[in-house]
């Protein structure tokens, strides 16, 4: 974006190494009908579990969209090996997290 807040499509982008995940609350419509006013308490409890678990494994819950969560794990280019075809990433220094 430029200073006026408009998008300038000519500004070059930036390549990042990341894994994106999508988490959806199963049977959310049914839960909404049963829980009614308490549905936000339910969603917030699940959000706490999702956010804390993803954070524990060095990721970030990027966006909450109703009954779904967009999750992201970013990596530095030096930490990743890319296959010759560019479709597979492997972490150089993998570690076990318990």
Find how far residue 17's CA is from the centre of its chain: 13
Question: Which residues fall within 8 angstroms of residue 50, CB to CB, at 6 or more apart?
Answer: 23, 61, 69, 71
Question: Which tens digit of pLDDT belongs to each residue from 53-78?
Answer: 999 998 999 888 888 999 999 988 78
- Are 67 and 75 spatial neighbours (Cβ–Cβ below 8 Å)? no
pTM for this entry: 0.68
Question: Which tens digit of pLDDT belongs to each residue from 76-95?
Answer: 878 888 788 877 777 777 55
Strand 60-65 versus strand 80-82 pairing type: unpaired
């Amino acid at each position: 974006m430029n200073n006026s807040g408009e998008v300038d499509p000519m500004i070059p982008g930036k390549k990042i190494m990341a894994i994106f995940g999508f988490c959806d609350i199963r049977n959310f419509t049914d839960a909404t009908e049963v829980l009614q006013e308490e549905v936000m308490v339910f969603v917030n409890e699940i959000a706490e579990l999702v956010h804390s678990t993803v954070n524990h494994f060095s990721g970030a819950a990027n966006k909450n969209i109703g009954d779904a969560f967009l999750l992201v794990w970013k990596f530095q280019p030096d930490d990743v090996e890319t296959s010759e075809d560019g479709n597979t990433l492997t972490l150089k220094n993998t570690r076990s997290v318990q």
